[in-house]
Structure 1
Amino acid sequence: MLLSRYISIRYQFILLLLIVSASLLTIIFMNVSIHKESSERLNALESRYYPALERAVKLNSLLPSLKQQFDAAVVMEDESALITADELTQTLLNDAQKGARVLPEYAQNFENFASSLQTYSQQAKQLSLDFIELNSTFDELSHRATLIDKQLKALHSISDQLRENIRKQVVETIQTSEAEANQASSVSILLGGILIVSLGVTSFAIQHSITKSISLVTQKMKEIASGDGDLTARIEYNGKDEISLLVSRVNQFIEKLQVIIKSTLNSSNMLEKVSTRMEYSAQNTLALNNQQQIQIEDVTRSIGEMLGSIKHVVDFASQADRQAQSANQKAEQGAEVVTKTSNQIELLAEKIRTTAAKLAELESNTNNVGSILSTIQNVAEQTNLLALNAAIEAARAGEHGRGFAVVADEVRVLASNTQSSATEINALLVELQNEAHGAVEAMSQGLESSSLGVHNAREAGQSLSEITTQVASITQVNKQIAQATELQHQTSNQIQQRLDDFTDCSQQVSHSTSELESLSHELSNIVAQLSQSTSQFKV
């Protein structure tokens, strides 16, 4: 028991593990060996004995069929049954050869069977042919049949003996495997029992040693804890196991605890003073924070009023921007209308120029027509004079000039009509010339007016363009004002948000300060309790 103190607990458990491992390996090795031998036997049964036994059973079962074929050939005098008998004989010989290959230790038995089978088959076949062809006497054939039946019985005896020997070998192999398995199970149970007993004894010894050592250390620590708190006492333990290391660490801990308690006793008074000052500072901080919170609320209220004013400015700037944009649109529309009007006036002026040119050409043509009419009037006057002279000459001629007088009258009437028509046409031409001249003058005045209108329209368009430019500038300025005002509004909102956050932080600080004051009071109580607790130790 004392020896366990000088052996490490780790090595004690390692020793226990080695004992368990060695026992388990022994059991496993033994079971593996027995399992291997059993597997080899089972493989032999599967690959050799069972196939050989099947061949032996087949040989024994086919012999009656072979005899029946020979009997059928004799009774029915059918040589085809002999062919079937030869096929059965060959099948039996093949099975005997396979059995000899599968189970070499019984190869001689299979060969004896094959040799006897060949002899029997040859003699039975010859006897059947002799019966069919009546090559011998009946007595001789009966004697030969009796001998062949004896050979068949010998074949049955050989096959039965072979089958029985193989069956006994199979049973013996199975019994051997079962015996070894039972033996392995018994040995495993025995070794398991020994292992359990050894494990229990060893575990109890280790547990008792560890428990006794721990009880010793616990008793020493209980004496320190339940006494007057003497931190100068140390635990004494003789040993080299883990308990010795534990005792050493506990002594180091007690020594460190002694230093800490001593330092705690020295620091508790200072901590009490600090807690008192901290409580006083927390009260002052709480008062200042309340005053600061009131000021922040005033600033927040002022910022809110400023935000209201800025919002009105934003609304006015937005309204001015919308009106400037509307004026800009109207100015652009007016400029577009003026441009269209100027283009129409220029087109009208061009048409007036064309019409004036046509009227001037018409006036020139009417002047030409007037000269032509003058010529016509002169011709008509000359014709009238000639007609008058012709009438005078016709009157002088008397009866001979009567027809000429009629013609002269007609010519005179025609000349008179021509002169009258020419006079009317001349009057119309004069009136037309006056009207054309008036139209030309009116067209000239309209052309001057249209030119002046085009000039004025261009000046109006230029003025509207300048107005549009100025309105666009005003619109841009209004947009900049609106953007700046909106930015100022957002900035003011951010300032108000920051003030709200600062108010929340101030409230949190106030709450934290209140908690700090409470904690300071609790700290004072804890310091008092700490002083009371540390005073129980002897350092």
Structure 2
Amino acid sequence: MLFPILLLAVIGISIFAFMYVITNMEAKAMKKQGEIYFEAVAVILNADRDIYQARLALEEAHSGQITYSEAQATFDENAKQVYDRFSKYLALLKDEPTINKQFNDFYPLYEQWIARTKSVSSNIERNQQLIKQLDVLDVNFKKLRHMLDMAGESLRDHVHKSGNINQETLERYAEAVAEVLNADRDIYQARLVQQQIINGIGSYKDNVKLFEENALQAMTRFKSYTSLLKNEPNFTEPYKEFDTLFSDWFKDSGVFLESSSVADKTLEKDLFAQSDTFFSQIRDILDKAGEAVGQRAKESEQETLQEIESLQTIATIIIVIGFIIAFVIGFYIPVKITANVKNIARRIREISEGDGDLKARINSESKDELGDLAQEFDSFVERLQGIISIIQEKKTALGQTTSRLSEVSNSVNSLSDGLVGSSDSIVSAATEMNVANQQMAEVAQGTAHEATESSQAAQKGMGAVSNSKTAISELVNNIEAALSRASELEKSSGAIASVLEVIRGIAEQTNLLALNAAIEAARAGEHGRGFAVVADEVRQLATQTSESTNKIEGMISQLNGSVTDAFKAIENSRKSAGNTVESFDEVIHIFDLLSQSFYTVKDLSEQTANATQEQASVANDINENLIAMKDQTDGVGHASKEIRSQFNQLNQLYKELSAQVDRFKV
């Protein structure tokens, strides 16, 4: 029965193994791609970069951008890296002989390139030495150039500054300037030829001949310049050292140009060309190496994919075959199991439907799990046969016990019914007495509560009266203050009236003075007209002041009358408030008596409530005990009924059990 499961497990393990193999192959391929091919491509690209850096160092040294020692160090370092990186490339691809054998020419080409480059390096070193020698020669060359410039400039300045030069002298000066300029051009041409010889441009012999021609022409033209100006020493004396400097420069230049280093400059181009030939060939090898690795990586990827597809096909075939075998076995085993189960079920049905014959057995001869089940069932029936035999023996004793139990149950039921009736009557009487006590206690509590509320109301009324008394007292104080203010106002009104009398007097005096001023202005005639206008204005102001004073006096008189009336009204209010305060004292005394009476009623009500509560508590305890006794009595009744019910059920079970046990044959 476990065979299909084991088969499926084997299939699952096989699938897992194939997946592991495929994954491992993919991982190895990726590792090979990353650690070998990718690294090989990176190494080749770095070698390509290094060979260019080595070539660039030579070019920079040749152009004088860096020194020979710097160029040589850079070249050696990068050339060594090219060699090392290509060796690493071959080591990475040691398992790829088809790739490595394509580049067997690398090392011979590399050696030839190094040898030619050393010759080029030697020429570059000599070239830098020649440049240094040429720099020494240029010291005198620059001095000669400076003299030629100064000679031409000084003569032109003299011509511009002198306005009375005759035609003959002017022509001579012009010819001398032309000679100096041509000499400057010739000496520059000679210097250019030197640079061409250093750079290996043109024929060496032709360049040497051209140098000598231009240098001698420059000397001849300067002598012509001094000859034209021989009568003017101020133009020739500053340049008396020209001949000596030129002779030294020309002599040293001849020695420099005749040296073997300069003569061999024509071979430098050939060496560079040969070195570049090997350089290009090595570059082609590096390019092909990178392309070969890329192509091999693609081929390896395709090979890995083909292997994976083959393994997947094999795995699919194995899985299909395994599932077919599992299906066949899975179909056969359930059929066999079903037949065995039906056989066992048939035997069990014969035992169960055979009038309880526990002597019958299945007696299966099967050796599988179902055979074990049948044997265990036969053992169970055998043990059940023993149990039923014992039950049949105990059945008679159980019947006698149930009969005696029925008689005891009937007696208990009769006693419990009488006890329940008596307890019900006692509990009812106790409950009625407890209800009466609770009602009395509630009435006493209600009386105490009403007395408390009345006392609180009296306290609130007494507080309100006290607050009113306080308010009236404050009102009396305010009235006293108002009387004081009214008295002060009356005095202030009198003071104001006195001030108004003074103002009225001043206004009358001002009016008289204005009248006198008008009279004096009239006497002054035309001169006093302006003063008369002012006097008239002053008089009008005095008149207005007098009128305003009269109005204010009338208003103050009215104010005095009003203050007097208010003073009388306030005095009457003060007397009434005093009488009200005395009445409030009597009301407060009455409220005190009322509050004391309420407190007395409250105390008596609380004492009554407490006594009633104690009585109710005692009655309640009695009632609870009676109820507990009734509950116990009810419990006895229920227990008696339950015993009767359980007996009836037990008797019924006894009958059923007897009927069932009698069915078995042991």
TM-score between both structures, scaled by the size of structure 1: 0.50
Asked whether the 8 Å contact 1:49–1:166 carries over to 2, the reply is: yes
State the AA in 1 paired with 2:371: S
From 44, 48, 64, the counterpart of 1:56 = 44
Is residue 374 of structure 2 the alignment partner of residue 247 of structure 1?
A: yes
- Quick one: distance in 1 between partners of 2:627 and 2:328? 77
User: Which one has more relative contact order, counting CA pairs under 8 Å at least 6 apart?
Assistant: 1
Asked whether the 8 Å contact 1:59–1:95 carries over to 2, the reply is: yes
State the AA in 1 paired with 2:351: I
- Quick one: distance in 2 between partners of 1:509 and 1:115? 126
Q: Figure out how many residues of one structure are paired with residues of the other and give that number.
A: 349
Q: Paired residue for 2:416? A: 289
From 634, 640, 662, the counterpart of 1:507 = 634
- Alpha-carbon shift at residue 511 of structure 1 (Å): 1.9
Is residue 78 of structure 2 the alignment partner of residue 118 of structure 1?
A: no
Distance 1:198 1:114, change over 3 A: farther
Deviations 1:459-498 (A, max 9, x none): xxxxxxxxxxxxxxxxxxxxxxxxxxxxxxx9x9999978
- Alpha-carbon shift at residue 98 of structure 1 (Å): 4.2
From 323, 335, 344, the counterpart of 1:208 = 335
State the AA in 2 paired with 1:52: A
Is residue 79 of structure 2 the alignment partner of residue 97 of structure 1?
A: no
Distance 1:138 1:265, change over 3 A: same
From 19, 32, 35, the counterpart of 1:47 = 35
- Quick one: distance in 2 between partners of 1:91 and 1:502? 118
Distance 1:536 1:267, change over 3 A: same
Deviations 1:163-214 (A, max 9, x none): 2333344334434443443344333333333433333334444333332211
CA RMSD of aligned residues (A): 4.8
State the AA in 2 paired with 1:93: K
Asked whether the 8 Å contact 1:27–1:188 carries over to 2, the reply is: yes
Asked whether the 8 Å contact 1:237–1:244 carries over to 2, the reply is: yes
State the AA in 2 paired with 1:55: V
Distance 1:149 1:510, change over 3 A: same
Q: Paired residue for 2:66? A: 80
State the AA in 2 paired with 1:206: I
- Quick one: distance in 1 between partners of 2:76 and 2:286? 14
Stretch moving more, 127-136 or 172-181: 127-136
- Alpha-carbon shift at residue 221 of structure 1 (Å): 1.5
State the AA in 1 paired with 2:114: Q
- Alpha-carbon shift at residue 104 of structure 1 (Å): 1.6
Specify every segment of 5 or more residues in structure 1 that has no aligned partner in the other structure, as ranges: 1-11, 305-489
Asked whether the 8 Å contact 1:48–1:103 carries over to 2, the reply is: no
- Quick one: distance in 1 between partners of 2:283 and 2:362? 95
Deviations 1:124-172 (A, max 9, x none): 5456666965346787455444433321221122112322333344334
State the AA in 2 paired with 1:154: Q
Identity %: 17
Q: Paired residue for 1:524? A: 651
- Quick one: distance in 2 between partners of 1:159 and 1:530? 105
Asked whether the 8 Å contact 2:61–2:71 carries over to 1, the reply is: no
Distance 1:69 1:99, change over 3 A: closer
Q: Paired residue for 1:193? A: 320
Asked whether the 8 Å contact 2:37–2:297 carries over to 1, the reply is: yes
Asked whether the 8 Å contact 1:120–1:152 carries over to 2, the reply is: no
- Quick one: distance in 2 between partners of 1:509 and 1:285? 9
Asked whether the 8 Å contact 1:97–1:111 carries over to 2, the reply is: no
Deviations 1:332-364 (A, max 9, x none): xxxxxxxxxxxxxxxxxxxxxxxxxxxxxxxxx
- Alpha-carbon shift at residue 224 of structure 1 (Å): 3.0
State the AA in 2 paired with 1:187: I
Is residue 150 of structure 2 the alignment partner of residue 164 of structure 1?
A: no
Q: Paired residue for 1:221? A: 348
- Quick one: distance in 2 between partners of 1:525 and 1:536? 17
Q: Paired residue for 1:232? A: 359
- Quick one: distance in 2 between partners of 1:99 and 1:38? 28
Distance 1:227 1:38, change over 3 A: same
Asked whether the 8 Å contact 2:40–2:92 carries over to 1, the reply is: no
Asked whether the 8 Å contact 1:234–1:251 carries over to 2, the reply is: yes
Distance 1:143 1:96, change over 3 A: closer
- Quick one: distance in 1 between partners of 2:316 and 2:267? 73
- Quick one: distance in 2 between partners of 1:226 and 1:81? 120
Asked whether the 8 Å contact 2:36–2:92 carries over to 1, the reply is: no
Distance 1:81 1:279, change over 3 A: farther
- Quick one: distance in 2 between partners of 1:509 and 1:521? 18
Is residue 143 of structure 2 the alignment partner of residue 155 of structure 1?
A: no
State the AA in 2 paired with 1:224: I
Asked whether the 8 Å contact 2:43–2:89 carries over to 1, the reply is: no
Q: Paired residue for 2:544? A: none
State the AA in 2 paired with 1:90: E
Deviations 1:364-410 (A, max 9, x none): xxxxxxxxxxxxxxxxxxxxxxxxxxxxxxxxxxxxxxxxxxxxxxx
2:367 alignment partner, SS class: coil
- Quick one: distance in 2 between partners of 1:524 and 1:61? 112
- Quick one: distance in 1 between partners of 2:655 and 2:297? 94
- Alpha-carbon shift at residue 238 of structure 1 (Å): 0.9
TM-score between both structures, scaled by the size of structure 2: 0.42
Asked whether the 8 Å contact 1:116–1:155 carries over to 2, the reply is: no
State the AA in 2 paired with 1:240: K
